[in-house]
Amino acid sequence: MADPDQHTRDLAAQRLAADDPTAWFEDLYAEASEGRAVVPWDRDAPSQLVEAWIGSRTSDGAGRSAVVVGCGYGRDAELIARHGYRTLGFDIAPTAIEAARQRHAGSPVDYQVGDLLALPEEWLGAFDLVVESMNVQALPAAVRAAAIAGVRSLVAPDGTLFVMAVARDDGEAVDGPPWPLDRAEIESFGDGLVVRSLERITDAVDPSISRWAAELVREAG
């Protein structure tokens, strides 16, 4: 089987050339469902940074709503639900959503197909917690600002947004996907929100890689 990262980039390049920057997600998940590809970000466990962040919170999510953006096979959505949140996980790829439902049969998570660039009106401002982990960085510059605005739009008054993304230095050239975020891009999630924390965390295994972890809130009134 071809190198998963290179195959993913090839699929993305084909769709980007056709001015369809999000269709490659379904292409990849569909191929994976047939055993013809591997989803590079598929893991058996939740994201370590998301797990550490949600575990550090002093209160659980009882009575509150959460949404996991680009949930894929559902590992982070299941984590958030275990912390008591009424959780929605959405992804643009129908095959990913169907697989998440099968993998987590009986789960309380509501798995739905959804497009970050064309969100349902009823989702806007509807969630007490929004988790965005490594999705915006998979989108090219042409739609990056719209994707970031889409993430922000999900946060309810008094709600919290947690963002995680691979970091790059200002002006650093990258050949994606992914296209890691520079500091200005990660800070742009804060338009209309208040930044509570913003860290650049060096990977413990590969010091050449670092990730942004940001917590933001939308103040009510």
Write down the pLDDT at residue 106.
Answer: 95
The residues that bridge with 67 in the sheet, in sequence order, are: 88, 130
pTM listed for this prediction: 0.95
Using pLDDT thresholds of 50, 70 and 90, give the confidence band for residue 13: confident
The per-residue pLDDT for range 129-184, each reduced to its tens digit, is 999 999 999 999 899 999 999 999 999 999 999 999 999 998 888 887 899 999 99
What is the DSSP track for 29-79?
HHHHHTTS---TT--SS--HHHHHHHHH-SS--TT-EEEEET-TTSHHHHH
Asked if the model's pLDDT at residue 2 lies above 70, the reply is no
The per-residue pLDDT for range 47-102, each reduced to its tens digit, is 999 999 999 988 889 999 999 999 999 999 999 999 999 999 999 999 999 999 99
Sequence ranges of the domains in the chain: 44-217
The per-residue pLDDT for range 181-196, each reduced to its tens digit, is 999 999 999 999 999 9
Return the CATH number of 44-217, one of 3.40.50.300, 3.40.50.150, 3.30.470.10, 1.10.8.60.
3.40.50.150
Alpha-helical regions (H) of the chain: 4-17, 23-33, 48-56, 75-82, 94-103, 141-153, 183-187
Query: Greater confidence, 6 or 123?
Result: 123
Identify which of 124, 120, 68 has the alpha carbon closest to the alpha carbon of residue 97.
Answer: 68
Write down the pLDDT at residue 16.
Answer: 87
What is the token pair recorded at 32?
Answer: 């994976």
